Structure 1
Amino acid sequence: MVSLLSNSPCTEFVNPQLSNHPLQLLQLHRPTHNLPPTSSQSVKILRLQPNHSNGLSLKKKKNEKKGFITARSSISDVLRLMDGLGFSIPIGMYVSFIEECTASGDPHTAMELHTHITRIGVDHPLSFLNRLLLMFASCGLVENAHHLFDKMSVRDINSWAILLISYFDNADYEGVISLFLNMLDQVSILELPNWISVFILKACAYTMNLHLGKQVHGLLVKLGISDDSLLTCSLIRFYGKFNCLEDANMAFNKVARHNSFTWTAKIVNDCREMHFYEVIDDFKEMGRRGIRKNSFTVSSVLKACGRMPSHGHCGEQVHATAIKLGLASDTYVECGLIDVYGRSGLVREAKLVFEMIHNRTNVACWNAMLNGYMQNGLYIEAIKLLYQLKAAGLNPQESLLKELRIACGGSREVEFT
């Protein structure tokens, strides 16, 4: 077992909040001939979907809409035809079928195909078994994937990674941690790709396991890769969930070259801890360093502006920056602008932004505008907007409804239907 480093504990906690990172392990290539895949062929890990109790029926309906039932029928027909003619199926054809099932996510076809392959009773190379693992994982068949994994006499880092991500996407974060610890006993830590550590840190945050997260951080330091921007971003977010800003800032300061993701992660942490002036300073520093802001950066800064006594000037400056960057029409930015103008008493500006929003079905923008009217005592306008919201088929935030009822007479009998 690898000896992991640990740091001092932190006692304050906040709710975890995580973001997705696209995974790419190896790349799938559809074989052009009926030749068995070599060990140099690569496999692409697709984004896996969580497996719920009714996952098979949900996936079936979803795949029917996408036309995957046709693909399923064609694979089944080919298998039956080849069996009827007494022909053996080349491994290259199996690989094509596995790739198709992996892309479609059809669990029924995946199980049928695996049964057909198992019936042959031929030992397959590791690369082929990893493809089967990936197929099961992509179809949400985590138990099938684990059963196949247990039967594999030889495994590599790809085998462990596929199963680990399938557990993560199935929201079994305790299982992710358990599998990771077992993996450290079987695989050299030098083989671990950086993105696996990203998912382990996310699993630690979901399970509120600060101690293991600190051990993973210590392992990254020991390997000399803790200053990687991807890992740094994950560490900043991880420590932010536990209110360990000192550790988060320490990880941030060790990076030689920052990008928009590391800066945004720091800004989100500072905003969560209500360090609003530091948020503005970080936003300005990003501009001085020429680091491009994204919509998440701008929306986070707008949240800070709405809670500062700047009388709307801060929000107006960020609004101008958003227009300059072409981000003013982003849904999150639009909601942030409506909120900051409403909180600053600039109701006319908030209404102008609201009238220009592109996605009229986004209830968050309606709630922000409704809250802006109510915070400024414009209850008649709030009631008018509420009826418009109802006419659009949307439901307002319940707490806003209660507040509006109180303002309109303090009676629970006041209804807006």
Structure 2
Amino acid sequence: LANMLVLAYGKCRSVSDARKVFDGIEEPNVFSWTVIIAAYAENKDHREAVQFFRRMNQEGVRANQVTLITVLSSCSASLDRLADGRTVHGCITGSSFETYRPLQTALVNMYGKYGRVREARAVFDGMAERDVITWSAMITAYAQGGHGRQAWSMYHGMSLDGVKPNEVTFVAICEACCSFPSFLEREALVEHVYESGYDCYTIVGNSIANMFSKCGDPSSARQAFDRIPRKDVVSWSVVISSLTQHELADEGLLLFRAMLAEGVAPNHATLVNCLDACSFSKNFGDGRVVHGVAKSLGMESSSPVVATAVLDMYSRCGSLVDAKRMFEKISSRDVVAWTAMISAYQQEGLSDQAMKLFRSMDLDGVRPNETTFMRLVAVCMDQNSLARGRMIHSRIVEEGLEASTSVSNALITFYGQSGSLAEASRVFGRMAAATLISWTAIISAFAQHSHSQRALELYQRMDLEGIKPDDVTFITILFACSHSGMVEEGRRYFLAMVGDHGIESSVQHLDCLVDLLGRAGWLEEAEKLARSMPL
């Protein structure tokens, strides 16, 4: 009776009552220990579930298959219990239920969750019989560990073994296919799903749509969405996210309205994606509609992430009043909210208010992040204040964020614009791995201040390090040549840009070339080129 009470209390989520009853059992047997471990596991207190398993071992009570499967589920769920999981594996090895298939599958699943695919595979290979659950667990282990090819190979092995996939298999292999550069495997998988009839499962349809979305194919994601017979909020969210993140904001927002018309309430992810779409397209009208939906669902007040997305949308749409009103409504402001409001002031040219807000953020005990500092450096650029920029740089060093590539790039640009080339060079020199943006920023710094020879030397260094230039890099190089009258060098770099790097010339490139020829006195050539330029 006591064991049944522990079981009942556990099912009713009253773990404290289950514990009281368990503590009253004079000599708990294996069933007693199993039900209390299950009570903690089912209520997501995985630490206590593992602790009780340890106590059970210390008491000399031998676990059965159900106990071991239960504790393995806790080891898998908490992701900091690998050592305990291996202990459980040790208990299984050599026992009478070492070859018990559900237990072996639980081990494959546990090792897979920790990314230990070799250990998962060793258990899998040692199994005498494997069912669809076992195969799916192994495929999932490979997929979640980023081993897409091995997952695909396992999927084919499963077919050769005569085991038919189920919805879990298809969800896992869809995740694996996200890493494939080839479209063929994805098409083959989708065809197999439709042939097997599993496209009627919403979770499988969602996974197919998500796979195409992650592979940068919003059109196929939309087609997969249209085939889902019973769409849930995840279905709508996946395809709306796919469209809005691939510069199809209008189509995504139309689908958002269709979602509302179908009576499906959007989740946090859907609202944030739609708000982001309105932000980047500066769609103030639809932004207000999405905000209204968020407010009606109570997410404006309950979700800081949604509230911050609303703030950012108003900021990017140029409505500082609405952005400020939203900021004041957020009761628990994190660094993202503070940074969004600082950005709003910066975008409106209100540099003093931005700096004042940063001081308030400091007083509120919120530590700035990389994005905060990038915005603050932009504020200093707007103010053309070298002294204030140096102060922000000191804070960046204090916070240990100078190693951030994005922050370093912002500082190089700032010091370059301010004419402090020595400081720009020091920041650049301390970078662990300069990117194309970093190189372009330092080249531009020297080019802007008539140090053309140094700018070209830096470009040659960049070339030797194997960093490929882009169109912006060449605008900087042509600018450097133009301001030093280096006609032949400028022509050579222009030809290399088009011929060697395959970069199409833009109006800005041709403008630099006209300026170069004009400054060098080649007026006839400059006039011919100017006449050939698009209006």
**Offset of 1:401 from its aligned partner?**
3.2
Deviations 1:326-384 (A, max 9, x none): 221323311210111111222122122122224423x2222221211111111111112
Structure 1 distance, partners of 2:114, 2:251, is 45
Q: 1:347 to 1:133 in 2, by over 3 A?
A: same
Which stretch shows the higher mean deviation, 373-382 or 160-169?
160-169
Structure 1 distance, partners of 2:175, 2:298, is 31
Partner residue in 2 for 1:237:
210
Amino acid at match of 2:143: F
Structure 2 distance, partners of 1:169, 1:388, is 42
Amino acid at match of 1:100: V
Partner residue in 2 for 1:322:
294
Q: 1:151 to 1:290 in 2, by over 3 A?
A: same
Amino acid at match of 1:220: V
Structure 1 distance, partners of 2:384, 2:141, is 53
Between structures 1 and 2, the one with greater helix share: 2
Question: 8 Å contact 2:342–2:354 — kept in the other structure?
Answer: yes
Which stretch shows the higher mean deviation, 346-355 or 176-185?
176-185
Structure 1 distance, partners of 2:119, 2:256, is 48
Which stretch shows the higher mean deviation, 168-177 or 400-409?
168-177
Structure 1 distance, partners of 2:341, 2:176, is 36
Question: Are positions 1:215 and 2:188 aligned together?
Answer: yes
Partner residue in 1 for 2:341:
369
Question: Per the alignment, in what secondary structure is the counterpart of residue 247 of structure 2?
Answer: coil
Question: 8 Å contact 1:271–1:304 — kept in the other structure?
Answer: yes
Question: Are positions 1:100 and 2:71 aligned together?
Answer: yes
Question: 8 Å contact 1:99–1:135 — kept in the other structure?
Answer: no
2:304 to 314, 317, 331: 331
Deviations 1:157-205 (A, max 9, x none): 111122222333334333323322322222433xx22132122122211
1:302 to 275, 281, 297: 275
Question: Per the alignment, in what secondary structure is the counterpart of residue 226 of structure 1?
Answer: helix
Question: 8 Å contact 2:355–2:376 — kept in the other structure?
Answer: no
Amino acid at match of 1:150: D
Question: 8 Å contact 2:144–2:176 — kept in the other structure?
Answer: no
Partner residue in 2 for 1:198:
171
**Offset of 1:227 from its aligned partner?**
4.6
Structure 2 unaligned runs (5+)? 1-27, 32-40, 396-535
Amino acid at match of 2:391: E
Question: Per the alignment, in what secondary structure is the counterpart of residue 155 of structure 2?
Answer: helix
Amino acid at match of 2:138: L
Q: 1:137 to 1:271 in 2, by over 3 A?
A: closer
Amino acid at match of 1:352: R
Q: 1:337 to 1:150 in 2, by over 3 A?
A: same
Question: 8 Å contact 2:174–2:207 — kept in the other structure?
Answer: yes
Partner residue in 1 for 2:219:
246
Amino acid at match of 1:160: W
Query: Percent identity among equivalent residues?
Result: 21
Amino acid at match of 2:291: H
1:371-410 equivalences in 2 (<5 Å): 371-390=343-362, 391-397=365-371, 398-409=373-384
**Offset of 1:294 from its aligned partner?**
1.7
Q: 1:234 to 1:145 in 2, by over 3 A?
A: closer
Structure 1 distance, partners of 2:207, 2:110, is 28
Structure 1 distance, partners of 2:99, 2:211, is 40
Question: Are positions 1:414 and 2:390 aligned together?
Answer: yes
Structure 1 distance, partners of 2:103, 2:217, is 44
Indicate the structure (1 or 2) with the bigger Cα radius of gyration: 2
Structure 2 distance, partners of 1:128, 1:278, is 48
Question: 8 Å contact 1:174–1:203 — kept in the other structure?
Answer: yes
1:159-198 equivalences in 2 (<5 Å): 159-189=134-164, 192-198=165-171
Question: 8 Å contact 1:367–1:396 — kept in the other structure?
Answer: no
Amino acid at match of 2:369: N
Structure 1 distance, partners of 2:369, 2:98, is 57
1:115-194 equivalences in 2 (<5 Å): 115-120=90-95, 124-137=99-112, 141-189=116-164, 192-194=165-167
Amino acid at match of 2:368: L
Aligned residues: 346
Question: Are positions 1:282 and 2:255 aligned together?
Answer: yes
Partner residue in 2 for 1:266:
239
Question: 8 Å contact 1:339–1:369 — kept in the other structure?
Answer: yes
Identify which of structures 1 and 2 has the higher relative contact order when contacts are C-alpha pairs closer than 8 Å and 6+ apart. Answer: 1
Partner residue in 2 for 1:50:
none
Question: Per the alignment, in what secondary structure is the counterpart of residue 349 of structure 2?
Answer: coil
The TM-score normalised by the length of structure 1 is: 0.73
Deviations 1:313-336 (A, max 9, x none): 332222122111222132331121
